[in-house]
């Protein structure tokens, strides 16, 4: 009889270790979406080990809270999952575990967003008696379908655990402050023709040829820059897919152009869809996935205190992030975390390690 | 022990029966491409039963020949297979077996091209001593990939069986004579961009937007009508497919427009591809499937005798047909058969039964 498999050795994270080393240790526990259990176990053990936090777990989402009776409660949030592991550039070596090369930490999660997770654990360790009550939220499944998102699911099932006056989402911002986020919607713009044999096209009508006008309007579209609460959001209207054709000898009777509109947070989803319908007037438009943006809310006292304490530049968030989920719950939120967002999800994902330290120091200034 | 399965009862075809009844009987033996054995068996048995023909079989392709020492040999050719069985319009009833409704025979194969097969069997029965030596060719797999085509395979392996001075392919022409056929080629026209997140399109370049120009050139293209050997061929340049897009939040870095060019038989494949490259100058063009057309050859004595004997109108064949394979073998060939080619492959495939009789009578005039 073979010996019983003892199972994998649990990963151990030490919040007292230096922030770059802690980031590397977190990255080295793979946690692709839907496979976050090992990392959630390690983070839970580390939080429990600190002794001063109430720790709750729902699936692979963790909530750790102080209860000091402060006048304000602040939420620090970060997701535990990453997109799939790929390879380091120019080779077949997986980009987990990480590598430290000339002051940069390379590998999956170094930007999106295990540096932020490390900073959260460091703050939990360094500030047992923060100036504001703290809620640390570590959640699962941010990189995949919205209905699996740990933050969305907790907000729907136990919103009281997310209660707070202000939230900081530690998504990568290059360690600047990014307020709010743009909304996003997808619209299928469809042309309809009549199928026929391609040797006798005069018996039909080519739906792909009709899409020339759809693409021309897209290519000629000049996207607006919209100022909301003092920040400039750069809108975008782009084709993200096109599909048409039945067979190599058939005039296609249908062509679908999938369009993605990224819109400033001054617009509702309805208003944004109206705008897209106007652009493609005369064509059939069907709304697909849609999420509203979030206004930056930087005029709110909690946000102003944050900006003042950090003393860092403030800009708009161009991408959609889970700050919009906090906005839905009525909690103003900003993005602030180490890493260049342009390097998220890339094979060459990497972050100058000084950014991890600077993000930790900035939050310490605010919360000590 | 269960009784041994006796297997299906073989279909029986009687070439002495009236041509519409014979067409219906042939249609009622399903023979979708790759599944022609039952029909080939029945046709082989019918040919053997006539007693005056040498009958050879290669897979499901049959060659039946007279050897009367005539000055000319003529090939009559038709394929045994059909496209898949679908349903009669407006219902869930399969379009095999056939139905006779108000003078029209409805069902799969009634146009493409079991009426022609029936006419061939009738001629074999009615004209045991034709004015010209006859080669009847019944072949498999015309409706699918070229490398399975029974005529092409026989031409490659045993070209002597196809030898002749003139060939008539009994594809549907509405019982007129159609000379030659257009060539066909497919070209992939590709645009290339740079992928980026769709919230920050300024970091990338949208390949689908660039395809606007490709589609505009297609939509604005005016196809030529080219006169070859006295017949007018209507060319056509049409998109038959388009594809682009990586994900709903990514600027696409590639878009491929698949174009089908149907060109008059005055052009080689090379010349036709050059023409397409000229239309899409500035874009990457890759040649896919390509087949040359066939000149009508109606100036040749054998063809002129055929036209004179039939006394029917002569026009160009717009679609590509296997007459081009005869042209490759150096045998002038025309299309002549019952059925409206616009109804081929349709759910409402059907043919006025008078066309079967007229086609039979026309060939009788020529060969008796």
Cβ-defined contact of B239 to A245 (cutoff 8 Å): yes
Residue range B328-343: mean pLDDT, rounded: 91
d(CA A45, CA A34): 20
Is B32 touching A (CB cutoff 8 A)? no
Is A52 within 8 Å of A130 (Cβ atoms)? no
Query: B245, A243: Cβ pair inside 8 Å?
Result: yes
Residues of A noted as catalytic: 81, 142
CA A249/CA A63 separation, integer angstroms: 59
Q: Do B199 and A320 touch (CB under 8 A)?
A: yes
Catalytic residues of B: 81, 142
What Rg, from alpha-carbon coordinates, does chain A have?
24
Given a cut of 50, whether residue B176 has pLDDT beyond it is yes
Alpha-carbon gap: A27 to the closest alpha carbon of chain B (Å) = 23
Spacing of C-alpha B276 from chain mean position:
24
Question: What is residue B6's predicted lDDT score, i.e. its pLDDT?
Answer: 58
B190 touching A (Cβ < 8 Å): no
Q: Minimal CA–CA distance to A361: which of A136, A14, A127, A165?
A: A127
Q: Which of A295, A2, A298, A340 is nearest to A174 (CA)?
A: A340
- pLDDT at B3 (0 to 100): 53
Question: Is A241 in contact with B245 (Cβ distance < 8 A)?
Answer: yes
Please tell me which residue, B225 or B304, carries the higher pLDDT value: B225
**Is the CB of A216 inside 8 Å of chain B's CB atoms?**
yes
> What pLDDT, in 10s, does the model give residues A161-184?
999 999 999 999 987 899 989 999
> Which two three-digit tokens encode residue A114?
């295990």
Cβ of A205 under 8 Å from any chain B Cβ? no
Question: Cβ distance B184 to B261 under 8 Å?
Answer: yes
Give the residue from chain A lying closest to B181, CA to CA: A199
Name the residue among A161, A168, A142, A119 with its Cα closest to residue A60: A142
Hey, which residues does B52 pair with through a beta bridge? none
Pick the range with the lowest mean pLDDT from A316-320, B114-118, B122-126: A316-320
Percent of chain A with pLDDT over 90: 77
Residue B312 burial by CB count (10 A; 0-12/13-18/19+): exposed, middle or buried?
Answer: middle
As a whole number of angstroms, the distance between CA B137 and CA B170 comes to: 10
- The alpha carbon of residue B200 and the mean position of all alpha carbons in its chain are separated, in whole angstroms, by 50
Structure confidence at residue A298 (pLDDT): 84
Would the pLDDT of B1 be above 60? no
Check residue A9 and give its pLDDT.
75
Percent of chain A with pLDDT over 70: 98
Query: Could you report the per-residue pLDDT of A113-130, keeping only the tens digit for each?
Result: 999 999 999 999 999 999
Rounded CA-CA distance A137/B14 in Å is 82
Above 0.85 for ipTM, yes or no? no
Average pLDDT, chain A: 93
Q: DSSP secondary-structure letter at B159? A: G
Task: Give the whole-angstrom CA distance, residue B357 versus residue B364.
Answer: 10
Q: Phi and psi for B122 in degrees, rounded to 5?
A: -65, -45
Q: Is B62 left (phi over 0), alpha (psi -120 to 50) or beta?
A: beta
Residues of B with CB below 8 A from A320's CB? 199
| pLDDT over 90 at A249, yes or no | no
pLDDT at res. A1: 47
Residue B232 sits at the chain A interface (C-beta within 8 Å): no
CA distance B287 to A73: 65
**pTM strictly above 0.90:** no
CA–CA gap between residue A288 and residue A277 (Å, rounded): 13
Asked if residue A138 lies in contact with residue A40, where contact means CB atoms within 8 angstroms, the answer is yes
Instruction: Specify the 3-state DSSP secondary structure of B341.
Output: helix
Secondary structure in 3-state letters for B96-147: CCCEEECCEEECCCCCCCHHHHHHHHHHHHHCCCCCCEEEEEEECCCCCCHH
B259 touches chain A (CB under 8 A): no
SS (H, E, C) chain A: CCCCCCCCCCCCCCCCCCHHHHHHHHHCCCCECCCCHHHHHHHHHHHHHHCCCEEEEECCEEEEECCCCCCCEEEEEEECCECCCCECCCCCCECCCCEEECCEEECCCCCCCHHHHHHHHHHHHHCCCCCCEEEEEEECCCCCCHHHCHHHHHHHHCHHHHCCCEEEECCCCCCCEEECECEEEEEEEEEECECEECCCHHHCECHHHHHHHHHHHHHHCCCCEEEECCEEEECEEEEEEEEECCCCCEECCEEEEEEEEEECCCCCHHHHHHHHHHHCCCCEEEEEEEECCECCCCCCHHHHHHHHHHCCCEEECCCCCCHHHHHHCCCCEEEECCCCHHHCCCCCCEEEHHHHHHHHHHHHHHHC
Name the pairing type of β-strands B225-228 and B166-169. unpaired
A3 Cα to chain B: minimum distance (Å) = 46
Which residue's structure tokens are 């000084």? A354
For B241-286, how does the pLDDT look when each residue is reduced to its tens digit (9 = 90+)? 999 998 888 899 999 999 999 999 999 999 999 999 999 999 999 9
Q: Which residues of B touch A252 (CB under 8 A)?
A: 239-241
- Interhelix angle for A207-220 vs B207-220, to 10°? 130
Q: Shortest Cα distance from A233 to chain B (angstroms)?
A: 10
Smallest CA–CA distance, residue B215 to chain A, in Å, is: 5
Residue A356 has pLDDT above 80, yes or no: yes
pLDDT over 60 at A3, yes or no: no
Are residues B99 and B87 in contact, defined by beta-carbon separation less than 8 angstroms?
no
Helices (H), chain B: 19-27, 37-50, 114-126, 150-157, 207-220, 269-279, 301-310, 323-328, 353-367
- Residue B235: asked if its preceding bond is cis (omega within 30°), the reply is no
Say whether pLDDT at A236 is over 50: yes
Residue B280 · residue B214 · CB < 8 Å: yes
**Beta bridge partners of residue B58, listed in sequence order:** B61
* B172 part of contact set with chain A, CB < 8 Å: no
Q: Say whether pLDDT at B77 is over 60.
A: yes
- Smallest Cβ distance to B201: which of A238, A244, A249? A238
pLDDT, one tens digit per residue, over A68-112 is 999 999 999 999 999 889 889 887 799 999 999 999 999 999 999
pLDDT value for B247: 84
Domains with residue ranges and CATH for chain B: 19-181+294-367 (3.40.630.10), 183-291 (3.30.70.360)
Identify which has the larger pLDDT, A6 or B235: B235
B291, burial (CB in 10 Å: exposed 0-12, middle 13-18, buried 19+):
middle
Question: At which residue do the structure tokens 């009847």 appear?
Answer: B136
* Contact (Cβ atoms closer than 8 angstroms) between residue A358 and residue A17: no
CB pairs below 8 Å between A and B: how many? 155
Residue B299 structure tokens:
């100036």
The mean pLDDT of B308-332, rounded to a whole number, is 89
Q: How confident is the model at residue B148 (pLDDT cuts 50, 70, 90)?
A: very high
Cβ within 8 Å, pair A186-B248:
yes
Q: How far is C-alpha A330 from the geometric centre of its chain's CA atoms?
A: 19
CA A328 to chain centre: 16
Q: Mutating which of A173, A191, A239, A289 best tests the B interface, going by the most B Cβ atoms within 10 A? A: A239
Mean pLDDT of A336-357: 93
Q: Does B125 touch chain A (CB under 8 A)?
A: no
- How many other C-beta atoms are found inside a 10 Å radius of the C-beta of residue B311? 10
Tokens of B227: 């006169």
Assess A185–B contact: CB distance below 8 Å, yes or no. Answer: no
Closest residue in chain A to residue B199, using alpha carbons only? A319
């Amino acid at each position: 009889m073979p010996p019983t498999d003892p199972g994998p050795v649990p990963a151990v994270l030490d919040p007292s270790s230096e922030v770059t080393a802690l980031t590397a240790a977190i990255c080295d526990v793979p946690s692709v979406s839907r496979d976050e259990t090992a990392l959630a176990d390690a983070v839970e053990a580390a939080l429990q080990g600190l002794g001063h936090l109430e720790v709750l777990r729902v699936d692979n989402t963790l909530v750790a809270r102080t209860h000091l009776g402060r006048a304000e409660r602040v939420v620090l949030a970060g997701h535990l999952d990453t997109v799939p592991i790929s390879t380091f550039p120019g080779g077949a070596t997986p980009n987990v575990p990480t590598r430290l090369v000339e002051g940069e930490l390379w590998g999956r999660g170094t930007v999106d967003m295990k540096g932020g997770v490390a900073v959260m654990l460091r703050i939990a360790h360094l500030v047992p008696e923060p100036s504001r009550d703290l809620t640390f939220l570590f959640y699962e499944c941010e990189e995949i379908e919205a209905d699996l998102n740990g933050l969305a699911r907790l907000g729907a099932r136990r919103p009281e655990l997310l209660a707070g006056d202000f939230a900081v989402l530690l998504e990568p911002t290059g360690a600047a402050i990014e307020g709010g986020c743009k909304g996003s919607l997808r619209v299928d713009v469809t042309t309809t023709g009549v199928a026929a044999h391609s040797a006798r096209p005069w018996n039909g009508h080519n739906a792909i040829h009709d899409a020339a006008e759809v693409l021309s309007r897209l290519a000629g579209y000049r996207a607006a820059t919209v100022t909301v609460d003092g920040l400039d959001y750069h809108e975008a209207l782009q084709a993200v897919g096109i599909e048409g054709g039945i067979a190599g000898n058939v005039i296609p009777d249908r062509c679908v152009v999938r369009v993605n509109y990224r819109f400033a947070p001054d617009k509702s989803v309805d208003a944004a869809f109206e705008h897209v319908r106007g652009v493609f007037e005369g064509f059939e438009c069907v709304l697909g996935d849609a999420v509203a943006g979030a206004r930056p809310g930087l005029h709110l006292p909690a946000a102003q205190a944050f900006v003042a304490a950090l003393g860092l530049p403030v800009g708009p968030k161009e991408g959609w992030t889970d700050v919009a989920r906090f906005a839905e719950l009525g909690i103003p939120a900003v993005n602030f975390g180490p890493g260049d967002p342009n390097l998220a999800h890339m094979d060459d994902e990497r972050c100058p390690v000084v950014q991890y330290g600077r993000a930790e120091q900035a939050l310490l200034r605010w919360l000590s």
